Amino acid sequence: MKTSRKKLTIAAPRGFCAGVDRAVRIVEVALEKFGVPVYVRHEIVHNKTVVDGLAAQGAIFVDELDDVPTDAPVVFSAHGVARAVVDEAERRNMIAVDATCPLVTKVHIETRRHADNHRHILLIGHAGHPEVEGTMGQVNPDEVTLIETVDDARHVTPPEGVDLAFATQTTLSVDDTAEIISVLQFRFPDISGPRGEDICYATTNRQKAVKDIAGAVDLMLVIGAENSSNSKRLVEVAKLAGVKAAFLIADKDAIDWSLIDEADHIGLSAGASAPETLVEDVVAALRQRYQIDVSEHGKIRETVNFKLPAILAS
């Protein structure tokens, strides 16, 4: 018998963004157009449920181009790839389909433009993340320096005698990035920035939605993968916004029910690469154990839609 009653507030927007939705559709359409198998270099997006679902349809996920037969189609992940990867695929005459999020491509273009204008780029991002590796790979290694923290921004020593520019990974914390940019602009008043905001609209919207409910809930659950930058940032944002506890969970099976038992009001969100089915599964699991009063909070409605690459046109 369900004796415990709890409130559940679900953040909106949440889950799939336009770039992730496009990347998943690219793999699905490529499978329809080229047949099985279609190879995908790295995880198409950072979510095991999505990757496993596409693998069941015939996608084969590999680490490098060397793992792809030359006559087989290969999809580049939503995080983007270095120019060397694109050049190698062209050299081998491979059927390459680029699923890079258009907002990441925008950062790539900005980065190359700065290098063409002989500016040294300070890239704000997390070392080892595929998006950062792809962006840094747009230019020569001596043309870009990675900035991960405010401390890095305070102590970075760029090459002497060159103009500077900054760019950012698209999935960072809005507030943390603003602080780093402020330090860089204070130290280097003439530094050039992007023509528009590098952090994508979906990242910004999801962080705002979490901030808006964080102060009212006892516990915030964020659905997403451990290697998902934007999902981990949502957990951080929730904690900074005042929630007592916030945790990243992969799916309903990762819920720590002892934490739920102690909470009266639970907040729920999902990273940009987490499908809505995972949210529905968590809500269903909560309903099985408790009496749940469910509401959704957030007025922003996202209508962005990105076209598929021309190579997939019928």
- Read off the pLDDT of each residue in 151-165 and give the average, rounded to a whole number: 97
Catalytic residue list contains 88:
no
Q: What percent of the chain has pLDDT over 70?
A: 99
Q: Which residues touch 116 (CB under 8 Å, ≥6 apart)?
A: none
Nearest-angstrom CA–CA distance, 219 and 89: 47
Q: What is the pLDDT of residue 313?
A: 83
Residue 195 has pLDDT above 80, yes or no: no
Catalytic pick from 43, 110, 131, 143? 131
Q: Picking from 18-27, 189-198, 265-274, 288-297, which range would have the lowest pLDDT averaged per residue? A: 189-198
What is the residue-averaged pLDDT of the chain?
Answer: 96
Q: How many Cα atoms within 13 Å fall on the side-chain side of residue 49?
A: 20
pLDDT in tens, 302-312: 999 999 999 99
CATH architecture group of domain 103-187: 3-Layer(aba) Sandwich (3.40)
Q: Which residues touch 99 (CB under 8 Å, ≥6 apart)?
A: 22, 23, 26, 27, 44, 75, 76, 77, 78, 309
Helix 174-187 × helix 229-240 angle, to 10°: 90
Residue 163, token pair as written in the block:
């103009």
pLDDT in tens, 9-63: 999 999 999 999 999 999 999 999 999 999 999 999 999 999 999 999 999 999 9
Please indicate whether the domains covering 18-101 and 103-187 agree at the CATH topology level. Answer: no
Q: What is the pLDDT of residue 314?
A: 65
When comparing pLDDT for 6 and 4, which is higher?
6
Q: What is the pLDDT of residue 197?
A: 76
Domain covering 18-101 assigned CATH 3.40.50.2000 in the classification = no
Domain chopping of the chain, boundaries: 5-16+201-297, 18-101, 103-187
- Read off the pLDDT of each residue in 245-262 and give the average, rounded to a whole number: 96
Residue 198 has pLDDT above 90, yes or no: no
Helix 18-34 × helix 102-116 angle, to 10°: 100
Confidence of residue 199 (pLDDT cuts 50, 70, 90): confident
Query: Could you tell me which CATH number the domain at 5-16+201-297 has?
Result: 3.40.1010.20
Q: What is the pLDDT of residue 70?
A: 87
pLDDT in tens, 89-123: 999 999 999 999 999 999 999 999 999 999 999 99
Confidence of residue 162 (pLDDT cuts 50, 70, 90): very high
Q: Picking from 50-59, 129-138, 193-202, which range would have the lowest pLDDT averaged per residue? A: 193-202
Q: What is the pLDDT of residue 3?
A: 64
